[in-house]
Amino acid sequence: MRSRRSISDIVAVVLLIVIAIAAAVIIYMWLSGLIGSIHTSTSITQVKLEITGANVTYMKGTVSNYTVTAYVYNPPGSPSTSITLGELMLTNGTLICTNNTPKVKPSGTITPSGTATVTFNCIVSSQLPAGTPVEIVLVTPEGTQVMYTTSTS
């Protein structure tokens, strides 16, 4: 008789463990589904800018002044935004210059499905050879960074 009771105790403990694990898995699946739906609904409002083209031109007659021009597209579904920071860096990540006042034309704001031209000046300590690969980084007020690789001219 005693051996039967000990087996039933073991079966009861194993059953409780299985039920607890099943309950934990169900709760996890429910919470991950809830968190996933919240994440999806907020990601729609994230800025998704694209740089479609850019150039970095040396301004002759100046010490080492470059004009950086980037052509930006804001896809449909992305909120209106602007550009608050422009950076020029070498492709190895070395920062060449930062400009806190880039100009966004035509209106200063890039609307959904809209395009704009972003320009800023960059003063460097020495002229870069023509054809040097560089990255243009634009930053929005929301903190979104958009990068584009081109070369100097």
Q: pLDDT tens digits for 21-41?
A: 999 988 888 787 765 555 544
Q: Which residues contact 136 (CB under 8 A, 6 or more apart)?
A: 51, 54, 56, 68, 70, 86, 87, 88, 147, 148, 149, 150
pLDDT value for 41? 45
pLDDT value for 59? 83
Q: Which stretches within the chain are classed as H helix?
A: 2-43
Task: Quote the pTM value.
Answer: 0.68
Mean pLDDT of 105-132: 88
pLDDT value for 44? 44
Mean pLDDT of the chain: 84
Q: Is residue 60 over pLDDT 80?
A: no
3-state secondary structure of 1: coil
Q: What is the CATH number of domain 50-151?
A: 2.60.40.10
- CA 17 from chain centre, in angstroms, equals 44
What residues does each domain of the chain span? 1-43, 50-151
16-20, 34-38, 41-45, 57-61: which has the highest mean pLDDT? 16-20
